[in-house]
Chains A and B, each alone.
Chain A
């Protein structure tokens, strides 16, 4: 992610985030509220678990036949009058978008929500080439004004309090100083964006679902900003990761029901817009982006992470995400799903992320497409260690542990020594060097282990 030049490890960023405990509490509660909304609405649908199973199976089918569906989609989209582009990686994606804009002499563009363009660092790339990009999703616009990356894939500015947004708007949009009423601020943003919409000739949107059988694509928003941008512009560019394909239109009946309920606890997104062919006098482009996805597809243990529909439910439920904030994951896609996607892109840079979890498994069980997220976190840990990205100190201590635990005699001695130390020289462990001790007391050390008790209290059969 181009926003973060020097990557700070998750644990260190999280420690900084936790310096302001009141803020952590606020962040945790805000996201937990969304998790509860999701619970309520999903529990009110009898066939919820069945829907998850359908969605999972449809996506499995997609991943097994991805190349065919992509070609089918391409052929149908071309028939519909859409220009189709293929990008192998982020650089090619950015170059394609740039080329289309240049062809039309366009130097200002509106963009609705697209995690893919965040992944590719499109904004920075275009800005460096003298093209102004205005994010029209309110949350995206807020982080854009703050010159920060989004911290959540569905709620990009969830880390910002309304007072901070008020301050930002005062500075950039001239709202009243100290005003933080969400309605007032939203109205101000709308006004500002309306002018932008009217003067921009190009609009970029993301894609939630692309239907192979019809060559259409669906964009889900709550603000209608994707439609507004696309309908007013001469050129509509839609960018999508190649895994966003679904086979048939009827499958939308599964995914649209799952997406908004999982994301925000709404029955459906306010706008689910279907784009099939350009309007007269308009050009419509679609950019299909690989950027590591086909490599990911080849990794059997990890491929089904590509089923993700980017609902964000795994983030809202993640107890670690809620208490460390999206930026601590140093990638466009944060949280549990980010932690299983990003090691595929850059294992060294993202080696910390699969360890930023307790493997509690909540993510796996809220995921509407049933990705085995926590099992993949476990598997990534094994791969990362095997590939040599574990810290040396950890390697050494693990070797010792493996040795101690494989020998009953040494284990007995080590246990005795540890208990003796805790009882007689507690200062050896109760100090600043022991992270446990910072906010927790060590357990009391009994004189006798269970094994010792057992030997004296039960007849030994061996």
Chain B
């Protein structure tokens, strides 16, 4: 199957190891992966700030880059959700509609499409799973505590296949980390406080690593961990699933 790799701009620039792990992981499962070189971003930073109208050119570029594949896979729940819900252009109606249904976040692709049952990965650490809101409540990667509904977790089920990995239980398993795109600077005080509280939950429960299916949350949490000179580190779920 032909898979196009969609790497969010900040992962491309700041966390290339996450993109590499995603690529290698998909290749391990026999996917023919291409990375369209002219990609930039999904347009979410503008749209979430109320400037959706400025993201038209960005959306057109996205459609140009990602048409003609079987699937589009991204190591970001948030960017995936944005494409699913908001990829609209004036011209490419058919193509963009198709893209909206073909785009998958990495863990849901592994679970729902590739139907992964076992993994070769090894990661002998205590890991706290941070549920990114867009992945969880938007893409339903796992059940949310708000609903009276049967629990499940796609990223959680994958982590449970990793040798040596111990998932820690959190006091608030799905509270937002406070990143929120431009919110992280426009509402600096609340954003930082939310991040500190999220980090504290993981640290209290002795997590060696905080992982997530979204690097943006992790970038924010990493900023706080580093400022606190904490021993707890962040790692994207692709890196764990590709480890060992």
Which residues does A use to contact B, with CB under 8 Å?
10-11, 14-15, 17-18, 21, 24, 28, 32, 39, 42-43, 45-46, 48-49, 317, 319-320, 323-324, 354-362, 364-366, 378, 381-382, 384-386, 390, 394-395, 398-399, 401-408, 411, 415, 418-419, 434-436, 438-446, 448-455, 458, 460-462
Partner of B197, one of A28, A366, A403: A28
Give, as a whole number of angstroms, the nearest-CB distance from A112 to chain B.
30
| In contact, B13 and A402 (Cβ under 8 angstroms) | no
Enumerate chain B residues within 8 angstroms of A18, measured Cβ to Cβ. 189-190, 193
| In contact, B193 and A357 (Cβ under 8 angstroms) | no
Enumerate chain A residues within 8 angstroms of B190, measured Cβ to Cβ. 11, 14, 18, 320, 323-324, 356
Extra contacts, 16 of them, besides A441-B222, A449-B13 (Cβ < 8 A), are A10-B187, A317-B146, A323-B190, A357-B183, A358-B176, A359-B48, A361-B133, A364-B137, A365-B144, A385-B50, A390-B50, A394-B49, A402-B51, A439-B195, A450-B20, A462-B36
| In contact, A381 and B49 (Cβ under 8 angstroms) | yes
Enumerate chain B residues within 8 angstroms of A405, measured Cβ to Cβ. 9, 40-41, 43, 46, 55, 57-58, 61
Distance between Cα atoms of A17 and B188 in the complex (Å): 12
Enumerate chain B residues within 8 angstroms of A42, measured Cβ to Cβ. 148
Interface of B is mostly: helix
Q: Using A21-B193, A418-B13 as known contacts, say yes or no to A441 and B41 having CB atoms under 8 A apart.
A: no
Is B54 an interface residue, CB under 8 A from the partner?
A: yes
12 cross-chain CB contacts under 8 A: A11-B186, A21-B193, A49-B147, A319-B194, A324-B189, A362-B146, A364-B137, A382-B52, A405-B46, A405-B57, A411-B40, A439-B195
| In contact, A411 and B9 (Cβ under 8 angstroms) | yes
Enumerate chain A residues within 8 angstroms of B179, measured Cβ to Cβ. 358
Enumerate chain B residues within 8 angstroms of A317, measured Cβ to Cβ. 146
Partner of B194, one of A323, A356, A411, A454: A323
Residue of A nearest to B17 (CB): A446
Per-residue CB proximity of B20-56 to A under 8 Å, as 1/0? 1001000000000011111111010111111111110
Enumerate chain A residues within 8 angstroms of B113, measured Cβ to Cβ. none
Residue of B nearest to A380 (CB): B50
Q: Using A48-B148, A405-B40, A415-B9 as known contacts, say yes or no to A450 and B193 having CB atoms under 8 A apart.
A: no
Is B185 an interface residue, CB under 8 A from the partner?
A: yes
Partner of A449, one of B12, B145, B149: B12
Segment of B103-111, B115-123, B223-231 in the binding face: B223-231
| In contact, B58 and A406 (Cβ under 8 angstroms) | yes
Per-residue CB proximity of B171-193 to A under 8 Å, as 1/0? 01001101111011111111111
Partner of A443, one of B34, B37, B133, B222: B222
Distance between Cα atoms of A192 and B46 in the complex (Å): 55
| In contact, B40 and A11 (Cβ under 8 angstroms) | no
Is B138 an interface residue, CB under 8 A from the partner?
A: yes
| In contact, B183 and A355 (Cβ under 8 angstroms) | yes
Partner of B138, one of A49, A361, A401, A407: A361
Residue of B nearest to A44 (CB): B148
Is B233 an interface residue, CB under 8 A from the partner?
A: no
Distance between Cα atoms of A108 and B20 in the complex (Å): 73
| In contact, A443 and B12 (Cβ under 8 angstroms) | no
| In contact, A382 and B138 (Cβ under 8 angstroms) | no
| In contact, B180 and A406 (Cβ under 8 angstroms) | no
| In contact, B178 and A443 (Cβ under 8 angstroms) | no
| In contact, B48 and A381 (Cβ under 8 angstroms) | yes
| In contact, A408 and B137 (Cβ under 8 angstroms) | no
| In contact, A319 and B176 (Cβ under 8 angstroms) | yes
Give, as a whole number of angstroms, the nearest-CB distance from A30 to chain B.
14
Partner of B223, one of A358, A408, A419, A441: A441
Enumerate chain A residues within 8 angstroms of B183, measured Cβ to Cβ. 355, 357-358
Partner of A439, one of B20, B137, B222, B224: B224
Give, as a whole number of angstroms, the nearest-CB distance from B218 to chain A.
10
Residue of A nearest to B183 (CB): A358
| In contact, B146 and A365 (Cβ under 8 angstroms) | yes
Residue of B nearest to A328 (CB): B190
Enumerate chain A residues within 8 angstroms of B222, measured Cβ to Cβ. 441, 443
Distance between Cα atoms of A10 and B190 in the complex (Å): 10
| In contact, A450 and B52 (Cβ under 8 angstroms) | no
| In contact, B180 and A357 (Cβ under 8 angstroms) | yes
Per-residue CB proximity of B190-226 to A under 8 Å, as 1/0? 1111111100000000000000000000011011101
